[in-house]
């Protein structure tokens, strides 16, 4: 059973992303509303995939990615954010993000990215 963590301060965006995960046959999904909650969740439970927003209160998504990687966790992390500048994409990838999706996105795009990063990580859905 694949377990995913969706991190976004928007309840609606979390629901949209959970819908995308469900379409990718991933139904075991936890939620976090900021980077700090995400880091705490990763320390408490094992996840196969994280979808991470950038701009959130308490701790930014980019800082959560750095903290998760510093903790030795290697699961794929897809940034899902309005931050569309090339410099931001590079910054996220350097911090340890596996892939990057810019809002707004088509539902099929995010499903495809999810399947892609899991396949590359050797995770079978």
Partner 1 sequence: MRVEYINPFIESVYDLFSTMLGAKAERGEIGVTHTAANPRDIMALIGLSGPVRGMVALAFPVNTALNIVNRLLGTESRIIDDTVSDAIAEIVNIVAGSAKARMNSGEESVIDLSLPTIVRGNSFSIDYPSKSTWLEVSFQSDLGSFTLRVTFQQLEPKGKR
Q: Which residues lie near partner 1 (CB under 8 A)?
A: 10-13, 15-16, 19, 55, 57, 81-88, 102-107
Toward partner 1, which CB reaches closer, 102 or 123? 102
Toward partner 1, which CB reaches closer, 73 or 105? 105
Give me Rg for the CA atoms of the chain: 13
Please tell me the distance from the alpha carbon of residue 24 to that of residue 112, in angstroms, as a whole number. 8
**DSSP letter, residue 106:** -
CB of 85 to partner 1, least distance (A): 5
Toward partner 1, which CB reaches closer, 108 or 125? 108
Toward partner 1, which CB reaches closer, 46 or 87? 87
- What are the DSSP E strand ranges found in 1-125? 3-7, 28-32, 49-52, 77-81, 99-102
CB of 12 to partner 1, least distance (A): 4
Please tell me the distance from the alpha carbon of residue 85 to that of residue 83, in angstroms, as a whole number. 6
CB of 15 to partner 1, least distance (A): 5
Strand ranges of the sheet holding 3-7, from the earlier edge strand across to the other edge: 28-32, 3-7, 49-52, 77-81, 99-102
CB of 45 to partner 1, least distance (A): 25
């Amino acid at each position: 059973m694949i377990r995913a963590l969706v991190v976004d301060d928007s309840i609606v965006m979390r629901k949209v992303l959970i819908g995308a995960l469900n379409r990718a046959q991933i139904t075991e999904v936890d939620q976090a509303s900021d980077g700090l909650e995400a880091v705490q969740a990763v320390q408490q439970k094992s996840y196969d995939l994280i979808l991470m927003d950038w701009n959130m209160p308490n701790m930014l998504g980019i800082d959560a990615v750095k903290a998760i990687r510093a903790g030795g966790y290697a699961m794929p992390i897809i940034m899902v954010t309005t931050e569309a500048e090339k410099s931001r994409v590079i910054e996220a990838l350097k911090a340890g993000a596996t892939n990057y999706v810019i809002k707004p996105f088509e539902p099929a795009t995010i499903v495809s990215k999810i399947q892609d990063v899991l396949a590359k990580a050797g995770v079978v859905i």
